[in-house]
Structure 1
Amino acid sequence: MNEVMKQLTEEQRIEVKRQMDMYTLGVHDIIPVEELEEKVAKSVRDQRPLKIKLGLDPSAPDVHLGHTVVLKKMKQFQDNGHTIQLLIGDFTGKIGDPTGKSVARKPLTDEEVQYNAKTYFEQFGKIVDMDKVELHYNSKWLSKLHFEDVIQLAGKITVARLMERDDFEERMAFSKPISLHEFFYPLMQGYDSIVLDCDIELGGTDQHFNVLMGRHFQEKLGKEKQVAILMPLLEGLDGVEKMSKSKRNYIGIDESPQETYGKAMSIPDERMEKYFELVTDFSPEQLNAIKEDLQSGQCHPRDAKMQLAKTIVTMYHGVAAAEKAEHQFISVFQQGAIPDELPVIEWNGASDILVIELLVQLGLLGSKGEARRMIANKGVKVNGERVEDVDLRISVIDGLVIQVGKRKFVKIALK
């Protein structure tokens, strides 16, 4: 027991344990966990909220379930009365985070950063109380640094330490260029922690190096060091790669209830337990019960996945939308019916057209090659009939229903 814990009343110790049980659940690593307990204990003793930093480099405006893993941990701190510091890297975003990149990232314009940040705020409101969040933009202080300040900051870290980054090591090994400005990204992220005087910084495991820069520079300047809480990366629908819009293996929190439910049903069985743990609000007892039922065979993986899909839709769209999405999934994918409500596309093109050209012109597939492959894989239906021939010509009539894959339906309306 640390010295601060010894100073607490029994009631205060119970509160510290309650919070620690919450904060340690589902994390990949806490650096170091002893300091986190001490910070929480001081917070309880002094009735002073901790400052919890989450930095965002707004390179893509759509929030998906992978992002929510860190956001939900942030929400736990917010619910316990701590201060959330949401930092928008409008300055660092112009440089681009080299994390995990084999080449330098293309810098963002001011307009792109502002648009992406605004979209983030709107979507984050589905998870955290944005009225109680401190919003910061690091251009406020980074843009005002003089070159002398930058040199002094750079003097507090060695090149050898910067080269410990896996992505830099890999690029050097394969003789790929590293621009000097990329070395400054982790320095600036560490400087953000100095300015915000934060107690804890959250991030994914891919942010390990960047988050530790805050501790490094705080220590160099004689400040109390922040604790790093690193959350696991959520694999996408392929079950292998990190969830990412660019990899097209994501579930966006702003997608339609039907699309969200359908995508959730394609989560690989072996990843279900991780999804339950990281993206839902289930208690440890509920999570253990699901795990035991799956392992014992009392619960079929399909039934557990339907529970997961319905839970995810409920979280972001409500109970009624979740029940409707579940009903549609059962009728369409288990009973083979066509959905009652379909997106309508107006058509004023040819009345007689090759099916592969129709699929591309409707925007259902990106190229004729993709259309041919989808047909070869038996993934295209017209009015419920599977298309077998890539050279099939279609008579386009009002109300024609096209299905691509398991979840994509459109109805044609003639102009």
Structure 2
Amino acid sequence: MDLIKRGAVEIIPEEDLVKKLGKSIKENKPLNIKLGCDPTRPDLHLGHTVVLRKLSHFQQLGHLAILIIGDFTGMIGDPSGRNSARPPLTLEEARENGKSYFEQASLILDPKRTKIVYNSDWLGKMNFADVIKLASKYTLARMLERDDFTNRYKNGIPISLHEILYPLAQAMDSIAIDSDVELGGTDQKFNLLVGRDIQREFGKEPQVILTMPLLVGIDGVEKMSKSMNNYIGITEPPKEMYGKTLSISDELIYTYFELATDVPNNELKQIKQQLENKEVNPRDIKRKLARKIVEMYHSKDEAIKAEEEFDRIFVNKGLPDEMSEFSMNGELDILDLIVKVGFAPTRSEARRLVIQGGVSLDGEKVTDVKMVVKIDNPKILKVGKRNFIKLTTK
């Protein structure tokens, strides 16, 4: 229970989980631990790994992880945490994304104790009579209790009927696989509870639900998200991972250790004590965190290299060992150059970077947005903290 409860927000009901675990041990039969995978986001970041890591904890205890790829429910679009309807996917798109999800999730999970299923296998076989029968088992009043729907209803934002069916479809996943425990983020709590109710309606033992917190992104404000550009992708290069991790606020160091790494609980306690000790520099602990995260998804050697390169660039003001090259003839104004090398999508964004002091040429800060760059000998263009490129003549 110490391992299972690590980082968890709620276990509902905890006493049922204790009973299920006891029965599992007595009968030597693993529990079915369910996790629904969102096929709209095939590229995983540390935020996604929080619940995957909890799933791996159950695997370590001998239980079976069942990943449900929502290829059918992806055509509905999960309304959780949304203030508008989510664009639906085609079945083919959802399946393709699901394959990518599983490949990346295997960096955390034990494939031998993981079963992957697609919910189109059972939801796609339901006819309209089946849907009506299922819908009769839940009331509209209860469905509108969920925060997403309540807020949209109050603000006059449309709620389509197909969105109301989503929690019921997710509940049918629990029926299909005989789910003992379902995991999810705190934003999934309503859907997970519906699963318990529908299992009961079908005469099955209700699943226990376990919710995990939503990891705050590197901006320290919003939950980690690609759309917010505050994420650390688990397939990113080591130096990107390392640099992004060092950019988090000191307040998030312990949370990241707890939710995004596999350091033992006794080590977690030591880290907490160190962070509370004013004589210890939090940056030293953050560097340890950055090394740990890179090591988990790459290797110990790559983590050391990433740290050495970071020190060379930012601590010792050196340059990275390897840089891309951009060859040019003639002259280019600085804004066009930044766009052409791919460091900004538009001239207006390039202008913003210059004005904010984020652009330098051969170590000299560029302050003139109208500056014309002529390459008579190789120069180093730096944009932001990590973007370097060598400029050469053709």
With normalisation by structure 1, the TM-score equals 0.92
Match of 2:35 in 1: 54
Match of 2:101 in 1: 120
Q: For 1:238-283, what per-residue CA distance to the aligned partner results, in whole angstroms no more than 9, with x for missing partners?
A: 1111100111000001000000000000011111110111111112
Is the contact made by 1:359 and 1:371 (CA closer than 8 Å) also made in structure 2?
yes
Report the count of equivalent residues: 394
- Write the distance in 2 (CA, Å) between the matches of 1:71 and 1:330: 32
Q: Is 2:342 the partner of 1:363?
A: yes
Is the contact made by 1:338 and 1:384 (CA closer than 8 Å) also made in structure 2?
no
Is the contact made by 2:250 and 2:282 (CA closer than 8 Å) also made in structure 1?
yes
1:392 aligned partner, one-letter code? M
Match of 1:15 in 2: none
SS in 2 for 1:357: helix
CA gap of 1:23–1:398, structure 2 versus 1, over 3 A, is farther
Q: For 1:190-220, what per-residue CA distance to the aligned partner results, in whole angstroms no more than 9, with x for missing partners?
A: 0110111110000000111111111010011
Q: Is 2:344 the partner of 1:380?
A: no
CA gap of 1:398–1:226, structure 2 versus 1, over 3 A, is farther
- Write the distance in 1 (CA, Å) between the matches of 2:330 and 2:158: 53
- Write the distance in 1 (CA, Å) between the matches of 2:89 and 2:392: 40
Q: Is 2:287 the partner of 1:306?
A: yes
SS in 2 for 1:228: strand
Q: How far 1:405 moved relative to its partner?
A: 1.0
Q: Mapping of 1:2-401 within 5 angstroms?
A: 20-342=1-323, 344-347=324-327, 351-396=330-375, 399-401=378-380
Is the contact made by 1:153 and 1:187 (CA closer than 8 Å) also made in structure 2?
yes
CA gap of 1:414–1:215, structure 2 versus 1, over 3 A, is farther
Match of 1:11 in 2: none
- Write the distance in 1 (CA, Å) between the matches of 2:91 and 2:204: 32
- Write the distance in 1 (CA, Å) between the matches of 2:392 and 2:331: 15
- Write the distance in 1 (CA, Å) between the matches of 2:133 and 2:339: 56
State, as a whole percentage, how many aligned pairs show the same letter: 50
Is the contact made by 2:74 and 2:91 (CA closer than 8 Å) also made in structure 1?
no
- Write the distance in 1 (CA, Å) between the matches of 2:162 and 2:286: 45
Give the gaps of 5 or more residues in structure 2.
none
Q: For 1:335-393, what per-residue CA distance to the aligned partner results, in whole angstroms no more than 9, with x for missing partners?
A: 11111112x25445x53011011111222112212111111111111222211111111
Deviates more, 1:389-398 or 1:291-300: 389-398
Is the contact made by 2:38 and 2:69 (CA closer than 8 Å) also made in structure 1?
yes
Q: For 1:303-330, what per-residue CA distance to the aligned partner results, in whole angstroms no more than 9, with x for missing partners?
A: 1110100010001110000000000111
2:142 aligned partner, one-letter code? R
Q: How far 1:396 moved relative to its partner?
A: 3.7
2:349 aligned partner, one-letter code? E
- Write the distance in 1 (CA, Å) between the matches of 2:41 and 2:30: 31
- Write the distance in 2 (CA, Å) between the matches of 1:215 and 1:51: 14
- Write the distance in 1 (CA, Å) between the matches of 2:268 and 2:8: 15
CA gap of 1:347–1:170, structure 2 versus 1, over 3 A, is farther
Give the gaps of 5 or more residues in structure 1.
1-19
Q: RMSD over aligned Cα, in angstroms?
A: 1.3
With normalisation by structure 2, the TM-score equals 0.97
